[in-house]
């Protein structure tokens, strides 16, 4: 699945924002399997872009299309189907269920549309250093542990595109590199695109396209 952005600009930005951005107001294609790094300082619309790509918000001018399908023209049911089959995400605010256990937070995504068997949850949690947290309620986990939960949860479903909004902001470099290695491994297995937006360039992400928002 290719992603097309044509002259996209959030409604709340002035037209002159196009002159300082490599994405807003430009015509861009993220080819299937591309690893896209977006360097996005605070206030540049990073989270808005991720939400637009996920079909969560549509307050923008221009066109965002998956292959030739305009996201804005999709019904809520069609967007939900895209999310179940083709698009996964790690939100900046994570959107975990605080009263549920680590296992339950991850497994709910797997059950909705499974890509992996349940055994993979423990394997991934062990790999990212939270294997001993599976029965703990998410609300008592540190924010860094919660980020790892959200990352693993995003890998439980099928996807052609994985959207990452500051997924490592509370991880040290060693844990961030482990998490990125797992993400890239999963993306390669599926031939999927990664769109990774963060405040600065991350050298251990093997991007094929780099843009400054």
**Cα dihedral 83/188/170/86 (nearest 10):** 0
pTM for this structure?
0.96
Over residues 36-45, the mean pLDDT reads 94
Instruction: List pLDDT tens digits, range 116-172.
Output: 999 999 999 999 999 999 999 999 999 999 999 999 999 999 999 999 999 999 999
Under 8 Å between Cβ of 35 and 206: yes
Under 8 Å between Cβ of 8 and 24: yes
In terms of DSSP H, where are the helices of the chain? 46-54, 76-85, 102-112, 119-127, 143-154, 173-190
pLDDT at 2: 94
Q: How high is the mean pLDDT of the chain?
A: 96
**Res. 184: pLDDT tops 90:** yes
Domain ranges (residues) in the chain = 3-212
**Res. 201: pLDDT tops 90:** no
Single out the residue of 173, 196, 161, 151 nearest to residue 39, CA to CA.
196
Distance CA 41, CA 62 (A): 22
**Res. 202: pLDDT tops 90:** no
Distance CA 114, CA 146 (A): 21
Residue 205 burial (CB count, 10 A): 20
Measured in Å, how far apart are the chain's first and last C-alpha atoms? 22
pLDDT at 94: 95
SS3 of 130, please? coil
Over residues 11-28, the mean pLDDT reads 96
pLDDT at 36: 98
**pLDDT band per the 50, 70, 90 thresholds, residue 178:** very high
Instruction: List pLDDT tens digits, range 83-117.
Output: 999 999 999 999 999 999 999 999 999 999 999 99
Positive or negative, the Cα torsion across 108, 113, 119, 121?
negative
In angstroms, what CA-CA distances link 136 with 97, 102, 119, 132?
12, 6, 18, 8
In angstroms, what CA-CA distances link 127 with 40, 57, 60?
29, 34, 39
Which fold is adopted by the domain 3-212? Rossmann fold (3.40.50)
**Residues of the chain above pLDDT 90, percent:** 96
């Amino acid at each position: 699945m290719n992603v097309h952005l044509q002259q996209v600009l959030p409604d709340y930005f002035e037209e002159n924002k196009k002159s300082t951005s490599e994405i807003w107001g430009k015509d861009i294609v993220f080819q299937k399997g591309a690893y896209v790094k977006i360097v996005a300082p605070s206030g540049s619309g990073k989270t808005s872009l991720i939400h637009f790509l996920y079909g969560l918000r549509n307050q923008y001018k221009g066109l965002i299309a998956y292959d030739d399908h305009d996201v804005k023209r999709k019904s809520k049911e069609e967007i939900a189907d895209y999310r179940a089959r083709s698009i996964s995400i790690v939100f900046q605010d994570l959107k975990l269920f605080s009263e549920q256990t680590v296992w339950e937070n991850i497994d709910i995504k797997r059950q909705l549309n499974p890509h992996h068997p349940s055994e993979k949850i423990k394997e991934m949690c062990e790999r990212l250093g939270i294997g001993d947290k599976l029965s703990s309620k998410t609300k008592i986990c540190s924010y860094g542990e919660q980020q790892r939960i959200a990352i693993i949860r995003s890998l439980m479903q099928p996807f052609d595109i994985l959207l990452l909004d500051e997924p490592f902001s509370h991880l040290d470099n060693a844990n961030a590199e482990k998490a990125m290695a797992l993400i890239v491994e999963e993306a390669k297995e599926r031939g999927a695109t990664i769109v990774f937006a963060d405040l600065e360039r991350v050298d251990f992400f093997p991007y094929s396209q780099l843009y400054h928002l």
